[in-house]
Amino acid sequence: MRHFVFATLLWMIAAPLLAQNFATPARSAFVIDVSSGTVLLSKDADIPLPPASMSKLMTLNMLFEALVDGRVSLSDTWRVSQRAQDMGGSSMYLDKRDRPTTEELIQGIIVQSGNDACVVVAEGLAGGEEEFAQLMTERARSLGMNNSTFGNASGWPHPLQKMSTHDLGTLAVRLITEFPQFYPYFSQKSFAFDGRVPDNHRNRNPLLALGIGADGLKTGHTNEAGYGLVGSAVQGKRRVVFVVSGLDSASLRASESERITNWALRQFIQKTIATPDDIITDAPVWMGEVTKVALVPAAPIELLLPVVGSDKLNALVEYHGPIQAPVSAGQELGKLVIKREGLTDQSFPLVAKDAVQSGGFMTRITTGAAKLKQQYWASEPDPAS
């Protein structure tokens, strides 16, 4: 028996063209609802750009992986080289006599954006910063971050130091979901290593003090990159991650980040559009005691939908049919595909609502006769020819 893919248009429900409804002056931007995986905004998000200190998130990812693997511990101490001591820009103010712990380095990178701390980590894990940068690039590729390359661990201007805002968003989601034990460091508002209180002892993330649910992640700025921020915020069961890059000032970075956070959290709501009790469609059954089977969702189907909107999305059912009996209740038979313009498709498995047993002798006779009749008429010449 030949099987065909059937696609049936089911319904259309309100949903706007999300990306077109929000304009940002950022050179590049990416916003994702983590809970549903829905991309809310993507503006030049796959273009590799200088990430400045936002690339320190990749250095932290490498360090967190080493902690999880047991290669290092939070209490381990690290050597500070002359190279690390001499690093300019944002700093923990380390010198060669210091032996910071892993935990202190994490805080120094996140809160103080310490370039010196990044060099310490790079040299301690890979023997040298160039070797570490190569490992960062290889690891980024393995994580699907194909628009990222690294020339150093700190984000200091370098021809190879490039990341897309999409990649930075992917990395932020990974840090939140894969390393929950370390994520609270990103909401720490101040840190002064060894009692030292330089001017940069406060976390530069402008959202942490606003009471809008923000709890991370990292700012960045160089003359080449402009002002950028990888941020995340929580409201109820929803979490959003956003990345902006190439803004003209720190004040614009702060206001635009707050505006994006409020838009992403307040203009969308998670809704259940179907449950396992809802029959989505009926599919034909071949050689069964009945001729069709009801398809239902394997689990409740939830979509992130706008609070207001007038555009539409399509819902399609896809399955290979006709479906061969016997069929078990709960057997996966197809999928529901939600198509929204400007967004990636979402698919949800559909299963048989009830079991269908194979038909008896008369079913086989009737089905066989129908097939022979179809073949006979298909072989007859067209009377009009």
Percent of the chain with pLDDT over 90: 70
Helix boundaries (H) for 179-233: none
Q: How far is CA 241 from CA 7, 44, 216, in A?
A: 34, 16, 9
Top-confidence residue, 384 or 323: 323
Specify the pairing of strand 301-306 against strand 268-274. antiparallel
User: What's this model's pTM, rounded to 2 decimal places?
Assistant: 0.82
Most confident residue range from 107-116, 274-283, 370-379: 107-116
pLDDT in tens, 21-78: 689 999 999 999 998 888 999 999 999 999 999 999 999 999 999 999 999 999 999 9
Tell me the residue ranges of DSSP E strands in the chain. Answer: 4-14, 28-33, 38-43, 214-222, 226-235, 238-247, 268-274, 281-286, 292-297, 301-306, 312-321, 323-324, 332-339, 346-352
The distance in angstroms from the start CA to the end CA of the chain is: 30
Query: What is the identity of the amino acid at 8?
Result: T
Q: Distance between CA atoms of 223 and 209, rounded to whole angstroms?
A: 26
**Mean pLDDT calculated for residue range 273-285:** 91
Q: Is the pLDDT at 374 greater than 50, yes or no?
A: no
Residue 101 burial (10 A CB sphere; 0-12, 13-18, 19+): middle
Residue 142 burial (10 A CB sphere; 0-12, 13-18, 19+): exposed
> pLDDT value at position 11?
46
The fold for domain 4-14+272-377 equals Peptidoglycan synthesis regulatory factor (PBP3), Domain 2 (2.60.410)
Q: Is the pLDDT at 316 greater than 90, yes or no?
A: no
Answer yes or no: are the C-beta atoms of 299 and 277 closer than 8 Å: no
CATH superfamily of 26-247: DD-peptidase/beta-lactamase superfamily (3.40.710.10)
Query: Taking Cα atoms as reference points, which of 10, 11, 12, 4 lies closest to residue 281?
Result: 10
pLDDT in tens, 189-229: 999 898 776 566 889 999 999 999 999 999 999 999 999 99
Domain map of the chain by residue range? Answer: 4-14+272-377, 26-247
Q: Is the pLDDT at 376 greater than 50, yes or no?
A: no
Q: Is the pLDDT at 333 greater than 90, yes or no?
A: yes
Q: How far is CA 273 from CA 74, 106, 239, 270, 282, in A?
A: 45, 43, 20, 10, 18
pLDDT in tens, 243-267: 999 999 999 999 999 999 999 999 8
Q: Is 2 helix (H, G, I), strand (E, B) or coil?
A: coil
Location of structure tokens 């309100």: 14
Residue 322 DSSP symbol: S
Q: Distance between CA atoms of 48 and 248, rounded to whole angstroms?
A: 18
Question: In this structure, what token pair is assigned to residue 236?
Answer: 């109820």
Q: Is the pLDDT at 365 greater than 90, yes or no?
A: no
Residue 311 burial (10 A CB sphere; 0-12, 13-18, 19+): middle
Residue 56 DSSP symbol: H
